[in-house]
Structure formats: structure tokens, C-alpha cells
Amino acid sequence: MKSLIATTLALTLAACSQSPAATVRDGAPDNAVRMVMPEGEALPGARDTASTPSWAAAPDAQVARFGEPGNAPLVSVACREGVLVVTRHAAAPVGAQALFALVGREGILRLPVDATSVPGQRGYLWQGTIAADDARAAVMRGPFTGTLPGAGMIKVAAGSAISDVIARCRNSAPAIVPAPVAPAQTLE
């Protein structure tokens, strides 16, 4: 009798201690299978963490590019007749417009950008302009974060190349001389 009670008690406890059913994530398919990724193989789009993005100037010192050495830039700033042309090297839908938000120590710049076809580049990239002597351009002289809808956020370090491009561009801005105004004539 004691062995029957002990056996029944053991079976009851065993039935209660079964492992719980696997939890199902909300929105996941019922037949989802977890796969093991091979070791030592980089995922597509994964970046090498050994290289740090930095600013580099073009030989003519009219363009500064921010990115990892040997790869396409993340951001570039070019000077064209006193105007800074800011390009976010990320795919843009044809005809799209957005605000490229730059936040740094020197303030906040919300730069209007458009999907632009850039010579030598495939597809469309985000591009906007700001006068080199605009005080808001100072945000690019120090470290800043740049956020663009659909292109994510990037962290941009400070660098002498971008500071030099902005300074040279300010100096190359065409001087606007106001037209002389004729003295007011009075009617008698």
C-alpha cells in the first residue's frame, strides 16, 4: 500500500513539473524556426568596428567627406560659390523632400533636403544647401548627430577638414554690393 501511494505521488509530481510550452512572440508566425548563424561570418551590411569614421578633405579643399576610409562617405559638404552643399549619402526616393536634423554643441540645424541625382552616384541621394556665412552652419564644425527619415541617425565627429571647408567657403562667398539708391525727389 505504501508503495502504491509513493508511486501515485511520484507520478502526480512528475505530471506537474513538465517544462512549460515554448513562449510565442506576438506577431511571430506559429511555425517560426530559430536558425543558428555561422560563426565568423559577417552579416550583410555589418561594418568593421576597427575603422572609425572621420573627415577627409578633397585635394582642392573644397569638399570634406565623413566616413570610413576606403568606403563611400556617409556625409559630404562641398563649397560652391559661398554656398555649402550638404549631401547625405543614403538612398532617397525620387521626388522626396525631408528635413535633415543636425544637432550639436553649436545648436540645431534643420536643413531642407531633396532627393537629388548626383553625377557619379547611382540613384538619388539627399542633398540640401545653406549659405556658408549662415550662423546655423556652425553646428557642422563640432561633433553632431544627423537624423534623416528613412536614413536613420549618424554620429559625426568633429574634424579640421570640415572646419576648413566652411572657413574657405565663407571667404569665397561673392560680395553683394547694394545698388545705389537715388535720393528721394519731392514734388512741389
Give the pLDDT confidence of 88-103 residue by residue, as tens digits: 999 999 999 999 999 9
Is 20 inside any structural domain? no
Is 18 inside any structural domain? no
Please check the confidence at residue 31 and state whether its pLDDT lies above 80.
no
Is 109 inside any structural domain? yes
Task: Return the pLDDT at 173.
Answer: 66
Domain holding 61, by residue range, is 54-172
8 band by pLDDT with thresholds 50, 70 and 90: confident
Task: Return the pLDDT at 51.
Answer: 75
Is 8 inside any structural domain? no
All residues at 6 or more sequence positions from 108 whose CB lies less than 8 Å from its CB, including other chains: 101, 102, 139
Is 61 inside any structural domain? yes
CATH number for the domain harbouring residue 98: 2.60.40
Is 75 inside any structural domain? yes
Report pTM. Answer: 0.66
Is 5 inside any structural domain? no
Report how many domains make up the chain. Answer: 1
Residue in the block written with cell 509513493: 6
| Mean pLDDT value across residues 139-155 | 93
Is 41 inside any structural domain? no
43 band by pLDDT with thresholds 50, 70 and 90: very low
Please check the confidence at residue 42 and state whether its pLDDT lies above 80.
no
Query: What cell was used for 83?
Result: 554656398
Give the integer Cα–Cα distance in Å for 67 and 54: 6
